[in-house]
Amino acid sequence: SRSHFEGRTSPPAGLAAMPGQYSADPKQHTLSPIVTGATVIGIKYNGGVLIACDTLACYGGQKRYKDVCRMKQAGEYTLLGASGEFSDFQYMSKMLDELDNEDFLNEDGFRMGPHEYSSYIGRVMYNRRSKMNPLYNQFVVVGKKKDGPTQLSFVDHQGTFFNEDFVATGFGAHLAVPLLRNEWKGDISLEDAEQLAVKYLQLSF
């Protein structure tokens, strides 16, 4: 029988590395988060919106990093908190900084608000999920743009995006949200909202 390599002076390139590739190994994606943050809680109150989270980032099963900020200011009117893989949160933070910088350089007097940022994050998350390489995060996005209404949004690693009066991520989605359904009221004060946030962060922690 004729050899597969007949007429060749060297083995096929596929056995080493294809042109333009850095490795012959298959393309790999993150399969499980390593450094992770847990619960973020967002609560609307009468006149504003509150967001709270702890400062713990776990390395696998270890409570390794105990003074980590999992919140990020985006533009002038928006604040977001993240649970999940911390490096993916840093990646998203860099993208938001670049977006805000481009917004500033346009010098057109328009700046993005919480609705625009949460929508943008949702599209980025859905795009990465569609490529089978998701960012392993859940985001709580809050803010108020000038005279507009306060906004509280939830975005997850699949691109799910919705507005709500109260949300929680991580363990808090299972423990805090069912209890908030019973205790949250439309005219809740800032002080009462703070007490609820502390109470349910302690419960989730």
Active site residues: 30
Q: Supply the DSSP symbol for 27.
A: P
Query: How many angstroms from the chain centroid is the CA of residue 170?
Result: 11
The structure tokens listed for 12 are 């096929």
CA distance 137 to 90: 11
Say if CB 188 and CB 197 are below 8 A apart.
Answer: no
CA distance 90 to 84: 11
Task: Extract the runs of DSSP E, i.e. beta strands, from 38-146.
Answer: 40-45, 48-53, 57-59, 62-65, 71-74, 78-85, 137-144
